[in-house]
Structure 1
Amino acid sequence: MQKLTGRDLAAALTVVVLWGINFVVMKFALRDFTPFQLGTARYVFAVLPLVLLVRPPRVAWKWIAAYGLLQGVGQFGILFFALKVGMTAALASVLQQTQVFWTALFGFVLLHEKASRPLQAGLVLAALGLACFALNYVGTDGLGATTPLGFVLTLCAAAMWAMSNIVARRVQQAYKDYSPLAFVVWSSLVAVLPFAALSWAFDPEPLRWHWLEARASSWAAVAYLGWAATILGYGLWTNLLKRHPANRVAPFSLGVPVVGLATGMLVLGEVVTPWQWAGVAFVVAALACVMLGGLVFRPRPQQA
């Protein structure tokens, strides 16, 4: 089995940092963009100029469209709204990782995949974590930077991410030699027009052209979301997954909520309540159980 080289480790850590601070960058961009406008701008940056340089992947267009709508319009459209109506960047970075468990649930229902013992234990821990997050809203003390609506929307965004993972699995099963980078670029193109149409239909009239007056820092945030977090991040990650087993690469994603929590608290001054810290601990423990549990629950070799 090929070992992770120093370059591989650097690539994995780069992705962790890019995706970890991604949520704080979204908060900055939402100062001058509505959620639909941010979605449009993010994916315009993600496809240009690569869509002019990269050929469409050898994949049926229904899969490209499905991935673009689920991962683009679904996941990030809902997440942008969650950050706008009441979710901190710090906690969003943690709650988005529940996509691991949503993916397992959808995989069981749609792909008839079996739930391993580590996954079963992880689901229990994740449920306890979500219960702690919910208890934060009992009474009035928990209401502040986050709201119940923001919490629910963030979980819905994670579920949409999971559905896009199911699409990606079906593509990997049906097309062994497709280009992951081309797939990401062309599926990003799918998201542009729906986001633009939603912005025109639902954004209030005074806000439709507000993006023309956006600060340079907000445009820099959009460029980061499109080029760094989307193209560079997913490009490095898919390259690692092509060259190494998923169980060697996936544990690095445990660092994403750590970076997200740290940057949200340090850069934006966000506060995490005791109930939310308990929820964070359970969710991170659940992720560790799923990603590292195979080492503990490894089947014993049969004796001759």
Structure 2
Amino acid sequence: MTNRDRLLGLAVVVLWGLNFLAIHVGLEHFPPFFFAGLRFAVIAIPVLLFVPRPRVPWRWLLLYGIGFGILQFAFLFTALRAGMPTGLSSLVLQSSAPFTVLLGAVFLRERLRGVQLAGIAVAMAGMAVIGWDRAHHAALLPLLLTLLGGLGWAFGNIGSRMAAAASENVNPLHLTLWMAVVPPIPMFALSALTEGPATGWNDLIASCSSTGWPAFAALAYIVALGTIAGSGLWTYLMSRYPASTVAPLSLVVPVVGIAASWAFLHETPSALSLVGALIVIVGAFTATSAGRRVPAAVVEDATPGPIRHTEPTRQPFQDPKLVDA
């Protein structure tokens, strides 16, 4: 990865780390499914009117939108509303990194090395430590919901890579914007069925007051910086590098998320959760930093060895008339 792309990756890390604060604020005003649908609807309407659809198969665009847009945020927002700490959720959601490696091996046939499998095992052990701590201090369900959100993100990563691979000249920003077209209707339908058909809309109207501006500020940040800028840059990186090369960047997001939650929300994670977090980061980094191995044939050809003198290959005699024929 070039230095320029590393800087772009770090920009994504900061944008997504602070995004959890905006999500926290938004969920104080809106129910989770409605808020998820609203964040994508704000993007989808102008996209349908002004942005040309990228020439990629619909199945990969749908996989991208369902995984990244619907599954990730339906589970994450529900987990946060159910009591998942904001800073800790920014860590647990990074389970998408080892999930992405595993799915990349299954669907993209990216070769897994032994060290990657060991790293995935270590990351899972760290998640178990956090789960043990959560089970003794709070409900375990929010943690499981956040893990499912990480799995949804991983499926979205695979969808974005498959979509980018299906077309040589796909615009990463256009791909990200059209991904946002997929979630609104399903999320609003889920909101109507589980949260009430008028609940979210009543909360939206109630936010149009002098005290409701934080809700719209949070929505603006999530749409403009968290989704368009952050996800656009992420899609660009996923289209240029193997999933196992890009995924480690997301492991820095919890550092920003936990620090921001401690500074602004006064969340202080327990010592055991911090130990589990460290184990997760070490394991996930190990699992996703190995990159892609150089093919053995290339390595053998590039390895210096003794000079061998070989006889020129003798070609069998061919009658020129038969060759011309």
Whether contact under 8 Å (2:8, 2:233) holds in the other structure is yes
Distance 1:87 1:123, change over 3 A: same
Cα distance in 1 for partners of 2:239, 2:192 equals 39
Task: Give structure 2 stretches of 5+ with no counterpart.
Answer: 306-325
Cα distance in 2 for partners of 1:179, 1:65 equals 17
Give yes or no for the alignment of 1:213 onto 2:213: no
Match of 1:149 in 2: 141
SS at match of 1:136: helix
Cα distance in 1 for partners of 2:280, 2:44 equals 33
Match of 1:4 in 2: 3
Match of 1:266 in 2: 263
Moved more, 258-267 or 173-182: 173-182
Distance 1:154 1:285, change over 3 A: same
Using the aligned pairs only, state the percent identity: 33
Larger Rg: 2
Give yes or no for the alignment of 1:159 onto 2:151: yes
Query: How many matched pairs?
Result: 296
Match of 2:277 in 1: 280
Whether contact under 8 Å (2:245, 2:288) holds in the other structure is no
> How many Å apart are 1:244 and its aligned residue?
6.7
Match of 2:321 in 1: none
Distance 1:245 1:82, change over 3 A: closer
Cα distance in 1 for partners of 2:14, 2:120 equals 26
Match of 1:193 in 2: 185
1:144-200 Cα distance to aligned partner (Å, 9 max, x none): xxx201000000011111112222232233222222211211121111111111112
TM-score, length of structure 1 as denominator length: 0.87
> How many Å apart are 1:108 and its aligned residue?
3.5
Cα distance in 1 for partners of 2:11, 2:257 equals 14
Match of 2:174 in 1: 182
Cα distance in 1 for partners of 2:11, 2:29 equals 28
Cα distance in 1 for partners of 2:71, 2:277 equals 24
Match of 1:27 in 2: 24
Cα distance in 2 for partners of 1:202, 1:72 equals 18
Whether contact under 8 Å (2:245, 2:290) holds in the other structure is no
TM-score, length of structure 2 as denominator length: 0.81
> How many Å apart are 1:247 and its aligned residue?
6.9
1:47-105 Cα distance to aligned partner (Å, 9 max, x none): 35344332001012232223212211111111100100021111111111111111222
Match of 1:232 in 2: 229
Whether contact under 8 Å (1:44, 1:226) holds in the other structure is no
> How many Å apart are 1:31 and its aligned residue?
0.5
Structure with more relative contact order (C-alpha pairs < 8 Å, separation 6 or more): 1
1:228-258 Cα distance to aligned partner (Å, 9 max, x none): 1010112233344556777775543332111
User: 1:1-304 maps to which residues of 2 (within 5 A)?
Assistant: 3-5=2-4, 8=5, 10-138=7-135, 140=136, 142-143=137-138, 147-204=139-196, 207-208=199-200, 209-214=202-207, 215-240=212-237, 250-293=247-290, 302=303, 304=305
**How much is the aligned-residue C-alpha RMSD, in angstroms?**
2.8
SS at match of 1:81: helix
> How many Å apart are 1:129 and its aligned residue?
0.1
